[in-house]
Structure 1
Amino acid sequence: MILESISQKDRALPHASLEDDNDFIDLRRIWRAIWSRKWGILTLVLVVTLLTSLLMMSIKPLYKASATVMIEPKGNQPLTFQPITDQSSGISEFLQTQLSLIQSRGVAEKVVRDLRLTEHPDFDPRQQPQPLINIAGLVKRFSIDSLIPGAVPSGDDEDKPMTDAEIFDAVTQNLMHRTEVWAEGKSQLVNVAVEMPDRLTAAMVANALAQSYIEKQLESQMEMSLASTNWMNTRLTELRATLQSAEDKLQAYREAEGLVDVGGVSTISANTLSVTGDRMIDARRARAEAESQFRQVETMRKAGLDRLTSVPAVLSNPLIQQFKAEEARARAKVEELSRRYGENHPSMIAARSDLSAAKASLQTQVDQVVAGIERNYQLAVANENSLDSSFNKNKAQIQDISRKEFKLRELQRDVDSNRTLYDTFMTRMQETAATSDMNSSNARIVDTAIAPIEPSAPNKRLIIVIAAFMSLVVGVGLALLLDVINNTFKSPEDVETKLNLPVLGIVPLIPKKSRMQIAHQFEQSQDKRFCEAIRTIRTSVMLSDMSQPHKVVVITSSVPGEGKSAVAANLAFAMGQLERVLLIDADLRRPTLAKSFDFPVGAPGLANLIAGTAKAEDCIQTVGNVDMLPAGVVPPNPLELLASPRFAKFLEITKERYDRIIVDSPPSQAVSDATLLSTFANAVIYVIKSESTAIPLAQKGIGQLLQSGAPLTGVVLNQVDVQKAAKHGSYSGYYDHYGYSNGEEKA
């Protein structure tokens, strides 16, 4: 037993050090908290599962019917004037739009009208069962009445029947709520599903929704086509009037300006000016050439005949070339004869005469050519001046022609653009009129909805499993929460960690049938585990006074009901087997010793002894091997009696007669008697009730005793449910070595 007590203390120290670490998670404690409340958790799970099962049985199953529709993107519209482009990038947005259209109110209203769902029991609000308690109505009434008393009139307003419009709106909203639409991946297939209690109606409504969507598409296309045709007719009339006005303006301008060519610029005045301009350019060129020749002749005339004849304009004359050749022959002949004859030779005279005649002829011919060049120059200048005067005279007429040309082209462009626009609208108008009766929807039903066999909701098994799991989680959470907020001592480790005092022993909880005789448990040896626990306490107390005997042992607790009196009585019997023991009931306010051992009513005790009204021999009762001093008559001043010198003197005398004096003290937190009694004690044992005594309360009581210098020896953990604790390993093996593990069952 001694080794066991020491080993228990050694085992407690590591746990205490670990619990001081805030990061340490005590899994064993968590498991103990859960296991200790396993039946409550199991009950919660069973109740929640049963209620969920009953609820699932009362709920009507829902059947989901689904129809598949293929929706293709549309082609070009009648009023699209641009070429058709690739629309693959917008398919996703297009399908999302179509999904919203299927779920639109217009489609739902058409189905409600076609299938007369306002009379169907699953949709008609008049045929729906009324709730037992209209929570929404009560909340509305009470909230409004609390703000404005009398704002909600009492009477028949709530019983007023719904109008047809309200019923239709309610049914439509209900159908929209039951409708589910989704696309199959990235394909163009769209599923239209309806969930209802009636599987046949679900299939019928799903098919009706798909067909209603297609019909709505056709109707919208027809409306768009008619609207386009009407708009195009109106626009075509406007364009025709605009074109006619532009043509009238063009024709009126031509007639007013005398323009005969539709090209705009080829008029009589314009042709004449064009010819004059060409002639003026030629005249300027001819005058420039004539002037150049004239300037050359004028320059060479002063230099002599020879230089004048070298001018190209003169030399190019055939007569000049002929006369110049004759002069050259005459000159050559004179030179030839001068070498043979003298100057007066008749041949020389004749030759010179021929040379003079040739020069005179050449001179005459050159003068004629020069005169001709001069005349040509004068004629070119006169022609140029004449044409220039004529062109300048008609310059205003040329500018006027240009203005007319620009105006004519502007009017012509206006006519051409109006005609092009008119022709385009006319072509589109004819195409629309030709294809107006060929409208086709871009959606078609691929698979019609059939009546489902299995219900789609609710998934009863899954819901029941989830409810059971959630109740289990809630139960475990509540167990852990209760363990956290349960700020009591549940194990020796808690005591040693929180109070820094050793645990002298652990007293097990005894059955209810034996609790009336709890003070006689050790004496009668009815519960072996209980007796072994008392022996362990006895051993711990005796080991603690090896150096100095603890004659006076005071046993106290925090509050009443923790079992200190039972521990004191049974410890006295255990000590009585080895020593002479006196058990004193010093709880003069609520004494229990006389009642527990059936002492006569009014028997004298400690109060009578201290007051001097009775002797020690008359007050002390012997039960078995233990002498007992009951409290006696309850005095009005217990503290004054215990503080009197007579009590101290009585203890000194008693120490000589007994080996051990055990004092049952009042609770430390109820009165201050325990603090006073601890001043007479050699050892103080503090009793704590397992899972009952609050940790702050015990800390406060022990702190007060330590402040008064009380010799606190240790703590007794009382009323421990060892069987429950042993199941989750708290005290496993504590009593196994002594054969006490199979003791009596607790109540």
Structure 2
Amino acid sequence: MKLLDRERFADALGEKEITLSEVFALLSENRLLIVLTTAAMLFLGITYAFFGTPLYKADVMIQVDSDPGSDTLNDKLGDLASLFQSKASTDAEIELIRSRMVVEETVRSLHLDVNATPHRFPLIGALIARQAPAGSPASPFLGMSSFAWGGEALGVTQFDVPAALYDQRFKLMVGADQAFELSDADGHTVLRGRVGIAEQGVTRFGPVQLRVDHMVARAGTSFNLARASTQLTTADLQTALDISEKAKQSGIVAVSLEGGDAARIAATVNRVASIYVQRNVDRKSAQAQQMLQFLADQLPQLRADLDEAEAKYNAFRAQNGTVDLEAEGKLLLQSIVDSKTKLVELQQQRSALAQRYTAEHPSVQAIDAQIGELQEQQRSFNEKVAALPSTQQQALRLMRDVRVDTDLYTKLLDSTQQLRVLKAGQLGNVHTVDYAEVAEKPVKPKKTLVIALSGLIGVLLGCAIAFVRSTLNRGLETPSEIEGAVGVPVYAIVSRSARQRTLHQSARGGGSELNVLAAAQPDDVAVEGIRSLRTALQFGLLNLHNNIVMLTGPRPDVGKSFLSVNLAAVLSAGGKRVLLVDSDMRRGDVHRYFSLPSKPGLSDVIGGVEPSSAVHYQVLPNLDVLMSGSVASSPAEMLMSESFGKLLAQFSKQYDVVIVDSPPVLAVTDPVLIGKHAGLTLLVVRHGRHSAAELQESVRQLSNGGHTVDGVLLNDVPQRASAYGAFSEYGAEKSA
């Protein structure tokens, strides 16, 4: 029998598209989960914001002069200074700042590979310590003097341990009169010492050396001391340094570092800047010294060449007297001297460049081109000299050698003096514009942002969990899914009711009031769904062999008793004389809806008690109720008895409709025994709680008892503003 139009529900619920209203409904169903998740994330966020270690930021600003020629002294020296100066690249300088040469020296000079932290009380110790002023140890909190409560300081300038003990925690216990004791992780004393004195101890891995130059702490306070690998500490610092150019091609480089110790990170970036600037100066000075050494090596040879040239010229004059050159010869001599001097200078410059660059370098190739041109000039000049008389040729060559060697020697001496001045005044092409100061306020965590983000993450996480859980745990939800799984029509759809939840809690509390939704809240959306079932039953019962309707479910907690009670209530309100029978003689709870005792009841009537003394008459107009009765030791045997069949037959004659609330079919065999007496069997399922296999097994077990499931009641459907949700609310408004 088909009491409802299946196509109507298939059209309304068969489609799988999720609408925005369904999304909001799903979120509303899981609002408690979302609230709890948000509260948990807010708690974590607030805890981190107020109890997390604050991070400070320190930064320095360095200017990189990309045009060394702008320096006044370098302008005076001209080409000579340019031999060992090159245009600085900001990107290259950034890599030099981050280089191991600079960073490792910083680590070693500041002893950053040594980590000394006061031993604080868990959780709140660090928070309390941050409130204490620096430089003086705070008084113990609640008398717990073994912990450090703020103001402590420990300056370690040497802590050498075997490599096997890197990152292993040592304990330094402060004693009286600036004394201390160092023990290893096992509690064994390694050494004892005093501030300002280098001490040495022994471990099973080798010797340990420790020097403490500064200690501010109460006697009895301890510090956790650990030595890290210098190489790894250097690598970590290289990664932690944030180095960037402030603006493109500005030549201004910012070096910043974040950390929990404001003074330590400020000292670190300042030391990085100082070492980098000094290394830049040292590099420039080394280049100047290299050129000075080259010139110093050339001077003796040039002096010897000059002396030899003068000696030859003087000998020629002594033999031939003074030779007067004609005007053309004098002009040729001057040209030869200038060209030769320039050629020798270029050859010297090339020798200097060859110590720094390969022959393919553009600077070297440019000088080679100039040298080639001057050598070609020299060949041209030599051809002109060959055309002169022999005596003039010889005189011109000797005079040329003297003048060239004199010019070269004089210029070389002058260059040497200039380089000495340049080296002495060399400041490099970088300098620090701003040094870091100890930060007063942390940059992280940003409390407002952290709390806001944690709340947002909590909401999103709660929503995500709700969607994932809905997807993973999704049971059958729509009539089309249920009908496709078991081949049984859906008779009614009953919406979820917030009012019923209140009534259910009241019933569980054992109150004396009536807890029937159809009577207490007749305009509720769930009641409207039950009214649609009543309408169908009024026509459908005409074709049944009796008027007994059994409601069962696959398992407990599907709302079977709720539907039985309220179906009986709406039928009786429509003028039908109805008897409601609670046949669950194990865990029946129909009596709670009416705040009546559970016995005497069905089990007692089957055992011989008169029905008239067990039935509760007129609990609602036209509605009588027979409770489950005393707890039976063998309910199945009682349901198989002839007395039970006769009892139902008697009730069927006395009432227009008999509704039997039976136990779950997958839990016990009772529904199979009751079902053979029923004219109509309805299977109650809960929205999204059952798999297809579970419903199929329920139908199979009832079928094995010789009768079929006539219809399904879909219960506890969320009130979503689509399809059936809209229908139910429309009906509720109308009834109201």
TM-score, normalised relative to structure 1: 0.55
Paired AA for residue 669 in structure 1: L
Larger strand percent: 2
1:564 aligns with 2:560: yes
Structure 2 Cα separation of the partners of residues 661 and 37 of structure 1: 38
- 1:662 is aligned with what amino acid? I
Residue in structure 2 matched with residue 478 of structure 1 by the alignment: 465
Q: 2:255 aligns with which of 193, 202, 218?
A: 193
Instruction: Measure how far apart 1:191 and its partner are.
Output: 0.7
Q: Which has the higher helix share?
A: 1
Matched-pair contact (CA < 8 Å) for 1:553–1:661: yes
- State whether residues 44 and 472 of structure 1, in contact with CA within 8 Å, keep that contact through their aligned partners in structure 2: yes
**In the alignment, does 2:728 pair up with 1:734?**
yes
Q: For residue 98 of structure 1, what is the aligned residue in structure 2?
A: 93
Equivalent position to 2:242, from 174, 180, 196:
180
1:56 aligns with 2:49: yes
Matched, 1:155 2:152: no
Task: Please name the residue that 1:467 is paired with.
Answer: 454
1:35 and 2:28 matched? yes
How far off its partner does 1:670 sit?
A: 0.6
What residue ranges of structure 2 are gaps of 5+ in the alignment? 126-163, 170-183, 193-207, 214-226, 306-407
Does residue 1:579 correspond to 2:576, yes or no?
yes
Give the 5 Å matches for 1:201-220.
209-220=272-283
CA contact (8 A) 1:53 1:464 kept: yes
Call closer, same or farther: CA 1:209–1:524 in 2, change over 3 Å: closer
Residue number in structure 2 paired with 1:663: 660
**Alpha-carbon distance between aligned partners in 1 of 2:617 and 2:96, rounded to the nearest angstrom:** 100
Matches of 2:191 and 2:700 in 1, distance apart? 69
Per-residue CA deviation, residues 347-372 of structure 1 (Å, 9 max, x unaligned), is xxxxxxxxxxxxxxxxxxxxxxxxxx
The structure 2 residue matched to 1:685, chosen from 657, 682, 687, is: 682
Residue by residue over 1:511-567, the C-alpha shift from the partner in whole angstroms, topping out at 9 and shown as x without a partner, is 145435799555992222265554333223223335446522111112234342343
Specify the SS of the correspondent of 2:538: helix
Q: Distance in 2 between matches of 1:560 and 1:485?
A: 22
Tell me: CA distance 1:213–1:568, structure 2 relative to 1, closer, same or farther (3 Å): closer
Aligned equivalents of 2:168, 2:438: Cα separation in 1: 43
Assess, with a 3 A threshold, how the Cα gap between structure 1 residues 653 and 429 changes in structure 2: closer, same or farther: farther
Q: In the alignment, which residue of structure 1 is the partner of 2:64?
A: 70
Q: Deviations over 1:279-307 (max 9, x none)?
A: xxxxxxxxxxxxxxxxxxxxxxxxxxxxx
Is the Cα–Cα contact under 8 Å of residues 587 and 664 in structure 1 kept in the other structure? yes
| Post-superposition CA distance 1:256-288 (Å, at most 9, x none) | xxxxxxxxxxxxxxxxxxxxxxxxxxxxxxxxx
* Structure 1 residues 156 and 696: alpha-carbon distance in aligned structure 2, compared to 1, 3 A threshold: farther
Q: Please tell me the residue identity of whatever aligns with 1:33.
A: L
In the aligned structure 2, how far is the partner of 1:446 from the partner of 1:154?
47
Q: Distance in 2 between matches of 1:70 and 1:706?
A: 91
With 432-441 and 171-180 compared, the bigger mean Cα shift is at: 171-180
Partner of 2:549: 553
8 Å CA contact 1:607–1:634 kept in 2: the answer is no
- Going from structure 1 to structure 2, the CA distance change for 1:107 and 1:646 (only over 3 Å counts) comes to closer
Q: 1:705 to 1:26 in 2, by over 3 A?
A: farther
Q: Describe how 1:154-303 pairs up with structure 2 within 5 A.
A: 154-156=187-189, 163=211, 179-183=241-245, 187=249, 189-195=251-257, 209-223=272-286, 226=289
Q: 1:573 to 1:167 in 2, by over 3 A?
A: closer
Matches within 5 A, 1:491-640: 501-506=489-494, 508-509=497-498, 510=500, 511-512=502-503, 514-516=506-508, 520-521=514-515, 525-528=519-522, 529=524, 532-548=528-544, 551-576=547-572, 578-592=575-589, 603=600, 605=602, 609=606, 613=608, 622-624=617-619, 625-632=622-629, 634-640=631-637
Contact 2:518 2:569 (8 Å CA) reproduced: no
AA partner of residue 466 (structure 2) = A
Contact 2:21–2:721 (Cα < 8 Å) also in 1: no
Q: Amino acid of the residue matched to residue 551 of structure 1? A: N
How far, CA to CA, are the matches of 1:467 and 1:604 in structure 2? 57
2-structure distance, mates of 1:555, 1:111: 82
Q: Residue 58 of structure 2 contacts residue 439 of structure 2 at CA under 8 Å; is this kept in 1?
A: no
Q: Residue type matched to 2:280 in 1?
A: Q
Distance 1:524 1:558, change over 3 A: closer
Return the letter of the residue paired with 2:92.
T
Q: Deviations over 1:656-688 (max 9, x none)?
A: 444323222221011122123223322112223
Question: Which whole-Å CA distance do the structure 2 matches of 1:523 and 1:465 have between them?
Answer: 42
- Report the residue type matching 1:212 in the other structure: I
In 2, the alpha carbon distance for the partners of 1:182 and 1:604 equals 86
Superposed displacement of residue 506, structure 1: 1.4
Q: 1:457 aligns with which of 431, 439, 443?
A: 443
Q: Is this contact kept in 2: 1:518–1:566, CA < 8 A?
A: no
Shift of 1:587: 2.6
Amino acid at match of 1:102: I
AA aligned to 2:99 is: S
The one-letter amino acid of 2:676's match is T
Q: Deviations over 1:465-515 (max 9, x none)?
A: 443433332222122123224435667677567665314241635214543
Aligned-partner residue type, residue 515 of structure 1: A
Decide which moves more: 459-468 or 598-607. Answer: 598-607
CA contact (8 A) 1:552 1:681 kept: yes
SS at match of 2:492: strand
Q: Quick one: which amino acid aligns to residue 682 of structure 1?
A: G
- Stretch moving more, 495-504 or 666-675: 495-504
Match of 2:430 in 1: 444
Cα deviation 1:604-631 (Å, max 9, x = unaligned): 745753x6x4566666554453454555
State the Cα distance separating 1:167 from its structure 2 match: 9.5
Specify the alignment match of 1:409 in structure 2.
none
1:235–1:682 Cα change, 3 Å:
farther
Unaligned runs of 5+ in 1: 143-150, 244-423, 743-747
Amino acid at match of 1:219: D
Once structures 1 and 2 are overlaid, which stretch shifts more, 166-175 or 461-470?
166-175
2:709 is the counterpart of 1:712: yes
Distance 1:106 1:714, change over 3 A: same
Report the aligned-residue RMSD: 5.6
**Deviation of residue 189 (structure 1)?**
0.8
Choose 1 or 2 for highest CA Rg: 1
Partner of 1:675: 672
What is the CA-CA distance between 1:457 and the residue it aligns to? Answer: 2.7
Alpha-carbon shift at residue 578 of structure 1 (Å): 3.1
The separation in 2 between residues aligned to 1:176 and 1:520, in whole angstroms, is 76
Give me the whole-angstrom Cα distance separating, in 2, the residues matched to 1:593 and 1:630: 7
Per the alignment, in what secondary structure is the counterpart of residue 704 of structure 1?
A: helix
1:701 paired with 2:691, answer no
SS at the partner of 2:659? strand
Decide whether aligned partners of structure 1 residues 566 and 42 sit closer, same or farther in structure 2, where only a CA change above 3 A counts: closer
3-state DSSP of counterpart to 1:686: strand
Structure 1 residues 696 and 27, CA, compared in 2 at 3 Å: closer, same or farther?
A: farther
